[in-house]
Amino acid sequence: MSVAWITLVGVLGALIGSFGNVVVHRWPLGLSVVRPRSRCPRCERTLGPLDLVPIVSWLVLRARCRSCGAPISARYPLVEGAMALGFVVLAIAYPVERAGLSVVPLLVLFAMLLMAALIDFDTYLLPDALTLPALAIALLGAFVYDPALGLPTPREALFGAAVAAGVLVLINRIGALVLRRFADTGERLWPLSLDTVNVAALAGALGGLLAALVAGALQTVASAALRRPLRLHEGALYALWVAALIAVAAGAGRLWGVGPIEALGGSVAGAGAFALLGAIWWWVADWRGGAGSQQVVTDATTKPEDDDGEPVAMGFGDVKLAGVLGAMLGWEAFLVALLYAVVLGAVVGVTARALGGSRFVPFGPFLVIGAFLALASADALLAWYLGLLGL
Ligand SMILES: [Zn+2]
């Protein structure tokens, strides 16, 4: 293994971590991440190259500003260290000699996901401008991976993104429905919206993935033609969804040739596909100055409060983040990641409450941690599970 390569990647990680600190601080405030140069928040002296050496400057300056002595948070060197460590671990796990450039998309994703997790931790928001480009990188990365590594193929990445986003969007919809005591949403977006997701979920539960995609496409076209959302009452729709899944699980699907796994998988992947397409649609529409329509989507669902001011389990930002992770891991390892995230989130949430903190804990950081734990352990876990089944 080339020590020079790993050192280079580690130093690169520390430098990107340093830039990441700037991104995490400024992006949520709507400031440029390039200009002006960083300065001390108290004495406003512009920081020179000697103040900006990752980790080292903080240690040498003993966590204080060179000119005014204002304390510098330990978070800066910690983020730089975490980025460097992640980069080094990935460079060792995917050695360039054997795996070629497979590690490059993973390094880019690690950097983007660490920044996204920190922004979510600080603000409860996951910026689309970070998650949606990361989704593109995770999908394109699948074309670069060495097939021997067990990373997803392009097809598996696409399916993984849809399943992962689908799991989270269905938890989001059903969670919100329970919190509203099964009243309908006030959402009135078209052509692509949560109504499209709901219709695709129901059609998938009856007929599998192809049915979900066709139904979602028809709902989109019909909504565009009507210039209003074509919708079913959400409570009624999910009652039908549960009934359809039970009927297919009981064997009724044999009448029209659909098995239970196909129905559940098709429902989840179809719902997730339209959730991600909708996210991309509204992001692009907002970019082109689409009258703040994006706000309608994100504000209603990414904040820890629903329409009635009640906390929701997961926001829509987590749906997009899950899409990235599903594309990076494939659907099987994504489910392992989700399991890690739920367990870690519960432990941290309960601990925080026990220590007197009433702070809402965002789910995104746990999903990101779970994803990299799953990347490290999914093969071992799967082998253990298959061994348990005697396969
Ligand atoms: Zn200062």
Residue 292: pLDDT band (50, 70, 90) is: very low
- 196 and 283 together in one domain: yes
- Do both 95 and 184 map to the same domain? no
Ligand 1 mean position to 70 CA, how many Å? 5
Ligand 1 centroid from CA 13, angstroms: 26
Question: Can you give the pLDDT at residue 25?
Answer: 92
Q: How far is the CA of 46 from the centre of ligand 1 (A)?
A: 9
Helices (H), 227-363: 234-249, 260-287, 293-302, 316-329, 331-354
**Distance between Cα 52 and ligand 1 center (Å):** 14
Integer Cα distance of 300 and 99 in angstroms: 43
Q: Are residues 210 and 303 in the same domain?
A: yes
Residues 158, 94 share a domain: no
Number of independent structural domains in the chain: 2
Does 123 reside within a domain? no
Res. 387 pLDDT band, cuts 50 70 90: confident
Q: How far apart are the first and last CA of the chain?
A: 34
Residue 317 within any structural domain of the chain: yes
Would you say residue 312 lies in a domain? yes
User: Ligand 1 center to residue 38 CA distance, Å?
Assistant: 11
82 Cα–ligand 1 center, Å: 25
At residue 295, does pLDDT exceed 70? no
328 & 244 share domain: yes
What pLDDT, in 10s, does the model give residues 173-218?
998 888 888 778 777 788 898 999 999 999 999 999 999 999 999 9
Query: Do both 213 and 284 map to the same domain?
Result: yes
Question: What would the mean pLDDT of 79-105 be, rounded to a whole number?
Answer: 93
Mean pLDDT of 273-277: 97
Claim to verify: residue 220 and residue 291 sit in the same structural domain: yes
Q: What local confidence, expressed as pLDDT, does residue 358 receive?
A: 62
In angstroms, the CA 40 to CA 52 distance is: 12
Same domain, 345 and 247: yes
Residue 144: inside a domain: no
Say if 138 falls within a structural domain.
no
Residue 231 is predicted with a pLDDT of 85
- Residue 94 lies in domain: 3-101
pLDDT for res 313? 42
Q: What is the Å distance from ligand 1's center to 49 Cα?
A: 15
